[in-house]
Amino acid sequence: MRILVFGPQGSGKGTQAELISRKYKLPYIATGDIFRFHLKSGTELGKKASRYTDAGELVPDEITNEIVKSRIIQPDCVNGFVLDGFPRNIFQAKFLNEMVEIDWAFLIDLADEKAIERLKDRLACKCGLSYHLLNNPPKVAGICDKCGNKLFIREDDKPEAINRRLEIYHQETEPVIKIYQDRGVLYKINGDQEIKKVFADIEKNISLKK
């Protein structure tokens, strides 16, 4: 089960990818989380990437493609994975498609204005989970339900970087979605519903083809 999740920033990709990963026992791979991990750990890669991530620009493909490749060849990915945040342009899609066949590409559809509204109250955890102050609060304020770490507001969830990220999404990532549509593996999901309803729609499409 090789699954991709697309959608504008704030549409709920990470939230849904985590639910898919839990239900189907697949590794959840988010390129953004990998970059944030390197940044926090102060690695060379983190330093190189931060120039781009801070501004909401895409990290160069040479760097990103290698990170994804080295992750999906790990033994835990033999039965599949859920990939969130990759591919984001047609070069990355080409690179991925040469390595593996994708079974489901979900597009979480949500208008930019609604996505921006959600990001205002997003709380993130370094384990990859995200919460929302009102829509999806953690059980204990400020603490991740899953790993117990402290939640934080992402550096790039400020208005300037959000607008730039959405612009890149429409310019560079939307053409990628077309590639999966042409291959017959794209499933468009209404993202403007409760979290569990969105997930139910995803499950329905998975069970139809599983």
**Catalytic residue selected from 2, 13, 36, 118:** 13
**Taking CB under 6 A as the rule, does residue 173 contact ligand ADP?**
no
Count, residues near ligand ADP per rule CB under 6 A? 34
Closest CA to 169 of 205, 102, 119: 119
- Residue 199 burial (CB count, 10 A): 19
Instruction: Give whole-number Cα distances, 45 to 53, 55, 70, 154, in Å.
Output: 12, 16, 14, 19
Nearest distance in Å: CB 54, ligand ADP: 8
Catalytic residue (choose from 2, 36, 88, 118): 88
Cα(102)–Cα(185) distance, integer angstroms: 7
Query: Is-contact 138 144, C-beta < 8 A?
Result: yes
Among 6, 81, 86, 104, binds ligand ADP (CB under 6 A): 86
Binding interface with Zn ion (CB under 5 A): 125, 127, 129, 144, 146-147, 149
Using CB under 6 A as the binding rule, whether residue 135 contacts ligand ADP is answered as yes
Whether 71 is a known active-site residue: answer no
| Given 6, 13, 39, 185, the residue binding ligand ADP (CB under 6 A) | 13
CB of residue 151 to Zn ion, shortest distance in Å: 8
Say whether residue 128 binds ligand ADP (CB under 6 A).
no
Instruction: From the candidates 120, 154, 164, 188, give the one annotated as an active-site residue.
Output: 154
Map the footprint of ligand ADP across residues 45-64, applying CB under 6 A: 52-53, 56-59, 64
CB of 42 to ligand ADP, least distance (A): 17
Smallest gap from residue 40 Cβ to ligand ADP (A): 13
Using alpha carbons, list the distances in angstroms from residue 26 to 37, 43, 50, 105, 201. Answer: 20, 27, 28, 15, 18
14 binds ligand ADP (CB under 6 A): yes
Instruction: Give yes or no for residue 35 binding ligand ADP (CB under 6 A).
Output: yes
DSSP element (H, E) containing 124: strand 122-124
Neighbouring C-beta atoms of residue 100, cutoff 10 Å: 14
Question: Would you call the peptide bond into 87 cis, given omega within 30 degrees of 0 as the criterion?
Answer: yes
Residues with active-site annotation: 13, 88, 122, 154, 165
